[in-house]
A = this chain, B = another copy of it.
């Protein structure tokens, strides 16, 4: 699957596109794209023909697409069928395919946009769903109105498994958040929602057979069975699988609040409120544990038609197993050398249950042990090497280690990590075991008000990595297209672009504009954490900040242009550096009435160092003869002093100044 797409990918970098490249705003990039000079007008005469397959899911997808086009032209665009020969858009699908998406669905499509019509063909409805998103990304406008860019596209994904893990245990996310996340995923052609539904901090699904799971383990924040079915159907309509995760035998404190007999030791147990790992662990030595799991998995798998079931299995704290006499006795009686072997024994029983209910087990790195049946899929959160090791042992695998987007990585960071790097040592057969990847958004610091800003637009960069040819790795071009994609994502109700303006209202008083500007130049550090427990409101400065503020890429783009002699870019940089230098004083001035201004004092000081170093460098670039001796040493020192040793935030822009500095030397 992977290699054939490399040929169009090379083609992608060749002549027909380069000529027009500035206007390509597709994300993810298709396997093969030729832009043409054609333009198809978008006006109220828009009609659609569905000459072959005409099923309800396809009709809904077309209706959604037409509705979005209607909103763009601000006029009603009734969804009208037409004869093939008269239609503006022909969606020619050969077969319905699976109504509930599956791993091996053929998502390919072709799309030709000419002056008179757009023709979308696909072997299955799911391919048409992908192609409609591409068509919507081809819409542009000029003085004569809205139109679709002429194009000839043949597209198919590089990986079959392109997922997002959404942790709703540490902080609950309401159904409307999940739905708009699914809409965003569909726009960038992701196809798996990995729904992390239980953990120490909450059990989030209604069980009717064991209702104390949600009654005691969720603070009332859980999805009803009707809501689960609704979300699964919503995802299926968008060609997205929903794989549930119920993490066992560790990370399961919330189960024990209502059912203390599942673990050992003296209760009562309570929902975990802080972060990390916790001692209470399921007791793998009792038959009743497996009976309970069988009941719950039997019931809840009825809500999730996906063929995969995630069992978790990560970070099992062995302390309780080590110190419990009955468990140690059991291990001796069954010849289990250590707690890892006990975990594997538990997994063998668990897999039997999962498989009995018709599901394929998926688990985190830790479940990969010598005795594990290779029927399981390994999800690697530890490293790419861990993924490679399990592939060598014959396991299917999914890579997540580089894609922890709750960790405040830049879009470039996550973009450049490849599930199968160019220099892989895996054989082709082993590579074929790599199903794809998943971005992970763990929920320690992610409330419903923050979730969009923590996911988007970076998730679109990960989506391109999973869908597009591996040769598509131009970071500046990715940032250029990501800016457009970010705007477009708000069309389906996502709120990431308005996040900063909204979040500063908690603390900025009348200085909203100052804080918005300032926050444009800072990023949270590490996991961006504000608050060591589940009770924090997440309304502080660090919660308003973005993981990869657009100013970072903008500064870098300006620096690249400046070193190529673009004096306008140099002037723009000078303005930016002056602004960066000034926030420390401006924040101090408002601190008399805004206590929150002090939260930004440290990082404003670091930002000032970068701004001053940048200003010196721009001066030197302009007037090399006038530069004071040793200026570059000073600039270097300032940049080194701009790296935070503490505090929750760090400044952006140092890399752009370095690009300038290197050009002077």
Contact = CB atoms under 8 A, between A and B. Distances in A.
Interface in A533-550: 533, 535-540, 543
A332 interface: no
A530 B76 contact: no
Contacts of A72: 506-507, 539
Contacts of A71: 506, 537, 539
A626 B536 CA distance: 62
Contact of A536 (B75, B487, B591, B594): B75
Contacts of A535: 76, 78
Interface in A591-624: 591-596
Interface residues of A, number: 42
A372 B541 CA distance: 61
B536 A76 contact: yes
Given A502-B498, A537-B71, A539-B72, A141 B595 contact: yes
A344 B374 CA distance: 80
A233 interface: no
A586 to B, nearest CB: 15
A505 B533 contact: no
B142 A593 contact: yes
A490 interface: yes
Pick from A74, A78, A497 the residue with the most CB of B within 10 Å.
A74
Contacts of A531: 76
A75 B533 CA distance: 10
A490 B509 contact: no
A517 to B, nearest CB: 12
A501 interface: yes
Interface string A51-94: 00000000000000001001110111010000000000000000
Nearest to A594: B141
Interface in A473-496: 487, 490-491
A145 interface: yes
B593 A143 contact: yes
Tallying the copies of this chain within the complex gives 2
B502 A74 contact: no
A364 B533 CA distance: 54
A76 B533 contact: yes
A593 B543 CA distance: 36
Nearest to A512: B487
A616 to B, nearest CB: 30
Given A487-B505, A490-B505, A502-B498, A530 B141 contact: no
A44 to B, nearest CB: 11
Interface string A123-161: 000000000000000000111111000000000000000
Nearest to A497: B505
A31 to B, nearest CB: 28
A503 to B, nearest CB: 11
A566 interface: no
A176 interface: yes
Interface string A40-56: 00000000000000000
B537 A143 contact: no
A43 to B, nearest CB: 11
9 contacts: A71-B539, A72-B506, A74-B506, A74-B507, A74-B538, A74-B539, A76-B535, A142-B593, A498-B502
**6 tightest A-B contacts by CB?**
A76-B535, A74-B540, A71-B537, A71-B539, A143-B592, A74-B539
Given A72-B539, A141-B593, A497-B505, 17 more contacts: A71-B506, A71-B537, A74-B506, A74-B530, A74-B536, A74-B538, A74-B539, A76-B531, A76-B533, A76-B536, A76-B537, A78-B535, A141-B594, A142-B592, A145-B595, A487-B505, A498-B501
